[in-house]
Amino acid sequence: MKLDITKDLLQTEIPTNKWLWKDSQPEVIRNQSVDVALPLNEEHTLVMQKLIDFVRYSQDGELNQKTNSDYLRPAVGLAAPQIGSNTNMFFVRFEWDEENGDVEEFAMINPKIIAQSEQITYLNGGEGCLSVDVDQHGIVPRSYKIQVTGYEWLTEQEVTLTLRGYQAIVFQHEIEHNHGKLYYDRINQKDPQLTEENWIMI
């Protein structure tokens, strides 16, 4: 995404690593988030705006260059606890093909998984997280298909989403942040590379 920080940011601050809370701060990262009232009040609106701005900025290769003193690890998604708010919200941005406008964004409020498949999937390279500075290597098993309900802030409507594969993995990762869980909680501690024959690798 090509951002113009003079007009495209939803709030007044340039996104920074200083916003991020880490797994060394369990009072927030390991805490259960609460649902929020709609429409969002001023405080919760600012949280959502920061989530959106952070992810969009982090994906902009021109603004967020590796030579920057405050380089942000590019994020597909970010949940409210990761910026210090135990509210049930997150933002994800899938940049499938930006040149052709193939981008999907979801700013989810009070999301809930209402159905999930028994089929298991996992990312070949494992998962990472902006709230985890030391990567934890291993297979992170998740449901291949999920159904999620919630309020989508960008389109201002209640939605029911059916997600598969990579999108389902990302949504589960962010939703679990709001339950105080991290991706490495799912890694088998005795055998981090454990998989089963019928699991789908992505």
Q: Nearest Cα to 195, choosing from 117, 116, 121?
A: 121
What are the pLDDT digits (tens) for 77-101?
999 999 999 999 999 999 887 667 7
Would you say 177 is a known binding-site residue? yes
Which residues participate in catalysis according to the annotation?
Answer: 174
Determine the structural domain holding residue 56 and report its residue range: 5-201
What are the pLDDT digits (tens) for 8-66?
999 999 999 999 999 999 999 999 999 999 999 999 999 999 999 999 999 999 999 99
DSSP for 59-83 reads T-TTTS-TTSTTPPPP-SEEEGGGG
Residue with tokens 């902009």, as numbered in its chain? 60
Query: What CA–CA distance (Å, rounded) separates 160 from 164?
Result: 13
| Tokens standing for residue 13 | 């601050």
Residue with tokens 């900025």, as numbered in its chain? 57
What are the pLDDT digits (tens) for 116-175?
999 999 999 999 999 999 889 999 999 999 999 999 999 999 999 999 999 999 999 999
| pTM for the model | 0.95
Confidence at residue 17, expressed as pLDDT on a 0 to 100 scale: 98
Total domain count for the chain?
1
What CATH number has the domain bearing residue 94?
Answer: 3.90.45.10
